[in-house]
Every structure is written in structure tokens, then in C-alpha cells.
Amino acid sequence: MIKKQGSLLLIVVICFFVGAALFVPSFFEATFETSDKSSDTIPGIVTDQKTQSILANEVYLLNQESSNRTDSDNNFSEVDPELFAALEDDELLTRAELARLSFEKILLEAQKTLPTRKQMESLSDAELMHDVPATVVEAAALIGQLKATVDRDEALADEAGSFFLECAKSAQVLTSIRALCLTNLLHLAESHIAVDMVGVSEIPNEVIDLSSRLREGESKN
Amino acid sequence: MKVLSIYLFFLLYLFSSEVSASAAKKPQPKPSTHRLIQAEIPLYLDKTVDNRLEKLITTDLHALAALRIDVQDSQLRSLFELDPLSATSLLGWLSERVRYLVGQAFSLEKNVLLISDDTNGFYEYENPGVFPDEIEESIGGTQAIAERLMLMDGLKEQAAINLGSAVYLSGKYKQVLFGLNVAGKKIAITSPRTGVVKLDSAFNFMGNFMGNFVGDSLDDSSGAMEASVLNSTVSRRAYRLRSLFHEARHSDGHGKSLTFPHAKCPVGHDFEGRPLCDRSRNGSFRIGAEIVKMFLNDCENCDIKQKEILRALYLHDINRVLMEFPVKDNNSEVEMMIQALRSQAGVYQTLIAHELDPVKWRTYKEKLESIETEIKKLEQGLVLRNEATTDWPAAPEGIQ
């Protein structure tokens, strides 16, 4: 009887450990999936202090990267120094300031990512024949994020407009992305009077033509 | 004791359910056989197309079937030569041009066949000896067409390649009939419409963007594949379908429009001098661009980022559809002058070669240089005229 009870107890213990071994990885897997999903979210307006400090750090690093760059073609504006002064003072940022920080961060990324004609020279005909260069998709995604930020805060429209104008004018940038920038500049101009259109005449015909081909028939959007 | 038994049963139940759950998560075996699938359209899949890619294609084509298209768009109706224009008729259009899909591991070298021809060893093609100008310009002359076969197989990191049309071109040049061993069938490539398309590594890849974008997850072991297919973003879906439709257009054309080959981009273009443009307004880049635009126009629930990616995909393709291209002026008077000057130049070249008197030699040399400058000027004058591009005839040659 004791022997029987002992072996039963042994089975129970084994089953317990087997069960535990199966449950624990599932738990970690579930945790991992959750954190992975959260990392996919588009950065927007954040309010908790922890995220603020991470964001501030990212913006600082981006600014450092930007100032270290020697690309003479890049004549875009840098991050507002007042925002960094605020960060150094460890002040709690307002929602609007955080939105602006997010905007500045995306703007810097977009400026860095704009695909150039020179970059295309390093890609083979085979790569360019049917594929779309990664930088084209990346730049488009960042332009989309920029627009989303402007949608939330119209005060940023002017700065976004300047970015689109510089991008559309830049002879180094790939024509398709210049046309995308021009299309967005025109959309902004149609909805925001504050957009500065000085120098728009410098945009060449091929960029205007391409933009018009996109706008043509895009009425549903 | 009773309590202990219940607990034991409970543990055993949990254990068995976990085992069955993990069994379900195990990677599905890759099909080792060829198969015919009904992914809105019938498609023969070679064994080199794994079941994960099959699921992506199937769901992509389902999405296309559900797409709301502007059926009144006369430009689209004319482009696809479809009346009525609808998602269903578009799928029909695709199925006439893409019938067999092969995967990245498919080896053209191992699967190309020389099919029996007539007693002289030749196969009679329609429009014999007529090839598109673009092929000569792009790959260095008609004699290079035979090498195109190897070139196509050697091209890596492409989204897709229309092997059927490449093999047809090669066969037509060599005047022999080639075949392909695809999806367990031996197919005679008697037309560019055979529709054998290779899906290469880039088919499910759209740039390593935002640091975590590596195409739709194909990782079966994590059990995430099903979800990722369902959650596939519209831009990725549009990208893959754009590639399929782009290749589908290469199944069209006859004579000078055969396979709708790409042409060298003109001076000033982003891809100046590279064979990455279309001289036809209804070529592969236009077809691909319009497919992307259809997704863009039916993208009411897409976020701004997705829309911008779709816009960039459209612009990237449409930028390569040339509205005009430089052509040599058909001015016979100027051509006659050039011919006369070339004859004169030939005379002076002979004189220079045989003249020993240095003074005369120098005179001849100066005369020759002046003639060559004149020839260049006249030739430049011939090239300056830009001609508007047109739609090319899409009817295929050969027997389908």
C-alpha cells in the first residue's frame, strides 16, 4: 500500500515538473509576443516619464548623428536647441512639446533617408529592374509618419512644408521621391495657408509631371 | 486518494493538450510534389514553391478579387484591353499570362529541354528574325539574345522573372523549339504566353525598412505564419501583385513588341543609360504601377504610412514609363551627306597611311579631323528629335 502510494506520488511529481516545463516557455512566449507587438506601434504623443526619457535620448543621439554628418548636400534645419535645453533641465514636457520632439525626430530621419541618384548607382540593373530600393520604401514610410504628426498638430505644417519643398527641389534626390514630396507640399498648401512656397519655381518639369500623374485619378484619397 | 487521482487526471489532461498544441505548432512539411491550385485562378505550382509562398499568393489573389476598381476608367480599360473592367476580368487577364509558378530553387539549366523540331532541325517561328530594338540596345546586339537565357537565370535578388518569355526569345533566335520541365509537366515554349514565372528571393521582400521589415513572416515554427498572412499589409500585397502583373505583361507582344522588353533610360533620367525604362506606354512598368494605384484608390482604411508607401511604389514604376524618347531623324539628305563625308574620310585615312612627306601627312591629318568633326555634328543633329511613345500591340505571337 505504501509502495503503491509512493509510486503514485512519484508520478504526480513527474507530471508536475513536466507541466511546469511546458507552461513556463508558453508564458515567456506570450510575454515576448506582447512586447514585440508594442514595438510595432508608430511613435506618437507619449506622456509617461519613462518613454519621455527614452525619446529624449533618441532625439539627442539623432542630433549628434546629424551634427557629425559631413554631407554637404544636406541643408535642412537642425533640432530646436530650446527643446534640448528643456530636456537638460529635466522638465516634464507638455503634450505639444512631446509631439514636436516626435516630429523633429521623424524629420531628421526622413532627411537622412531620402534616396539619392548616387545611391542607385551602387545597385545592379537586376536589383532595380523589378524591385524597389529599400530607401524608397523607408523614405515613403517616414513621410507618412511626418504627415500623421502634422495631422495631429497643424502648427507643424509650415516646417513640414519646408521639408517637402527642399526635398522636391533637391537634384540629388530620386525623382519619384521628389514627386512624392511635391505632391505632399501641394496637399499641405491646399489645406494650410501657412505653407511657404518660395522657390517652388525651381522644381523641374519632370518632377511636376510625375506628381501630376500621381494626383490624376487619385480622387478617392 | 480520490483527490490525488483527480489531480493526476487534470495534469495528464493538461499534458496531452499541450502536446497536441505543440504538435500543431510544428513546421508544416514543405510539399515535395507539383500541384495545381485554385487561387482565384488556376495556377500550376512547381515543387520549388513552398506552401508558405503558396499561402501568400492565394491570399493576395483573394484580396485582388475583393478589390473595388473604378470600372468606368477608360484608360485602365484600354491598358488591359478589358471590357468590362472588374476584379474578376483582371484575374482572368492574369491567368492568361501567368500559368506556372516556380520558386527560387528552380534551375533553368536543369529544366530546359530541346524539343524535337522539323527534319532540318529548325522550328518555324512567327515573324522570323524580327526582334524588338530594345533587346539589341539593352543587351548588346541580337547575337546576345541566346545569352539572355543564361543572363535571366543568373539574375539574382529579383522579385520575379518571366522565364517563359526569355526561353521563347532564345528559341526564336536559335530557331529551335525549347521546352521547360515545370510542375511535373513538359511544356513546349511555342509562345511568350506560356506563362512560366519564377518568384525570386525579393518577391516577398520590400526593403529592410524601419529596421524590422523583412517581408511577411514565413516562420512556420513560431506559428505566426497564418496570422502574418492574414495581417499582411496592403503595401506588401500590392508589391507582390505588382510584380506578378509586371511579369504577366512580358508574356505579351509580337515582332517588334515581343515580350515588351525594357529600354535604356534617356539622358537626365535617374537611371540614365541603364535598361530600366519602357518605351511603350502600356508596358510592364505601367501595368505594375496601375495595380499599385488600384490598391491605393481602394485604401480607405489604410493608415497614412501605408498610403505613402503605395504612392512611392506607384511613382517608382511610373517614372520609368517614358512619354517620349530620342530617335534618329529620318532625314535622308543628311544621311547621304554623312555617307559622302565617310567616303572622303576613308580616302584620307588611306593617304595618311601611305604618305611619307610630313607636310602633306599633316595636311591630310587636319583634313580628316575636320571631316570627322563635321560627321559628328551631323549625327548629333539626327539624334536630337524626341518622339512620343505609344501603346504597343499586345497580341502574342506563336501558338498557345
Chain B residues in contact with A39 (beta carbon < 8 A): 212
Residue with the bigger pLDDT between A112 and B214: it is A112
pLDDT > 50? residue B303: yes
Q: What per-residue confidence (pLDDT) applies to B277?
A: 93
Q: Which range is least confidently modeled, A131-145, B1-15, B126-140?
A: B1-15
Segment B23-35 mean pLDDT: 59
**What are the start-end ranges of the E strands in chain B?**
35-39, 41-45, 100-102, 112-114, 160-162, 178-182, 185-188, 196-199, 324-327, 385-388
Chain B CB within 8 Å of residue A216 CB: no
Q: Is B305 near chain A, with CB under 8 Å?
A: yes
Flag whether residue A138 sits within 8 Å of chain B, measured between CB atoms.
yes
pLDDT > 80? residue B81: yes
List all residues of chain A from 161 to 180 with a beta carbon under 8 Å from chain B: 174-177, 179-180
Mean pLDDT of chain B: 79
Which residue from A22, A175, A218 is facing B297, i.e. has the nearest CB? A218
Q: Which amino acid is at A80?
A: D
**Percent of chain B clearing pLDDT 70 (strictly above):** 75
Does the CB of A151 have a partner CB in chain B at under 8 Å? yes
Q: What is the pLDDT of residue B216?
A: 46
Does B158 contact A218 at a Cβ distance shorter than 8 Å?
no
For residue B65, the model assigns a pLDDT of 94
Percentage of residues in chain B with pLDDT exceeding 90? 40
Span B26-54, mean pLDDT? 80
* pLDDT for B8 beyond 90: no
Q: What is the mean pLDDT of residues A2-7?
A: 62
Report residue A134's pLDDT band, with 50, 70 and 90 as the boundaries.
confident
Instruction: Confirm or reject contact between B202 and chain A (CB < 8 A).
Output: yes
Place of cell 500585397: B237
Mean pLDDT lowest among A66-75, A181-190, B29-38, B360-369 = A66-75
Note the pLDDT of residue A190: 85
Q: Quote the CA–CA distance of B177 and B167 in Å, as a whole number.
A: 9
Q: Closest Cα to residue A173, out of A210, A131, A198?
A: A210
pLDDT higher at B300 or B188: B188
A182-207 pLDDT, tens digit each:
999 999 888 866 777 777 888 999 99
Question: Which of residues B140 and A111 earns the better pLDDT score?
Answer: A111
Contacts of A9 (CB under 8 A, 6+ apart): none
Question: How far does A19 lie from chain B, in Å, by closest CA?
Answer: 6
Phi, psi of B313 (to 5 degrees): -60, -45
- The answer to whether A145 faces chain B, any CB pair under 8 Å, is yes
Q: B315, A214: Cβ pair inside 8 Å?
A: yes
Q: Is B314 on the interface with A (CB under 8 A)?
A: yes
pLDDT in tens, A146-176: 998 888 888 888 899 999 999 999 999 999 9
User: pLDDT band for position B213 (50/70/90)?
Assistant: very low
The CA-atom distances, in angstroms, between B353 and each of B145, B326, B348 are 38, 37, 8
Neighbours of B140 (CB within 10 A): 11
Residues of B in contact with A6 (CB under 8 A): none
Nearest chain A Cα distance for residue B245, angstroms: 11
Chain segment A81-106, per-residue pLDDT in tens: 555 555 445 556 666 776 777 888 89
Q: What is the pLDDT of residue A66?
A: 41
Put simply, whether B300 touches A (Cβ < 8 Å) is: yes
Alpha helix positions (H), B200-331: 225-230, 234-249, 284-297, 304-318
Which of these ranges, B22-31, B155-164, B296-305, has the smallest mean pLDDT? B22-31
pLDDT, tens digit, 9 for 90 and up, residues B94-127: 999 999 999 888 888 889 888 866 666 788 899 9
Is the pLDDT higher at B389 or at B134? B389
Cβ-contact B91, B41 below 8 angstroms: yes
In terms of Cα–Cα distance, which of B295, B257, B297, B268 is closest to B390? B257
- Of B33-42, B89-98, B328-337, highest mean pLDDT: B89-98
Across B306-317, average pLDDT: 94
* Interface confidence (ipTM) of the complex: 0.73
